[in-house]
Amino acid sequence: MTALQHEPLQDTRRWSRFVAPEMWASLAIVAMWLAVLFAAIYGPDIVSANGVADIGERTTVPSVVVVAPFAFLGTWVVAKYGFGRERKE
């Protein structure tokens, strides 16, 4: 009777790469900035009127100006915790 040696399966290594935290952090960052892109393209403007709408001054600011700082902060946090850890293999 011969002893068979079990070698690690190739699928296990592929699966460990698939569930790696770095991949999920990257996808989260990409999703945040895609939201900023769509807000820039399709988002409404923030309109502020001073006084009567026809006579007073009007200020128009794209809504992405509000969305982008939150995406920046979210990117910073996700990158810190998603890429900052040391992996144990």
pLDDT in tens, 70-86: 999 999 999 999 888 66
What per-residue confidence (pLDDT) applies to 83? Answer: 86
Q: What is the dihedral of CA 19, 23, 25, 30, to 10 degrees?
A: -140
In terms of C-beta distances under 8 Å and separation of at least 24 residues, what long-range contacts does 46-55 make, across chains too?
Answer: none
What per-residue confidence (pLDDT) applies to 42? Answer: 96
The answer to whether 83 and 25 have CB atoms below 8 angstroms apart is yes
Backbone angles phi, psi at 67, to 5 degrees: -75, -40
The answer to whether 62 and 43 have CB atoms below 8 angstroms apart is yes
15-60, pLDDT tens digit by residue? 665 668 788 899 999 999 999 999 999 999 998 887 765 667 888 9
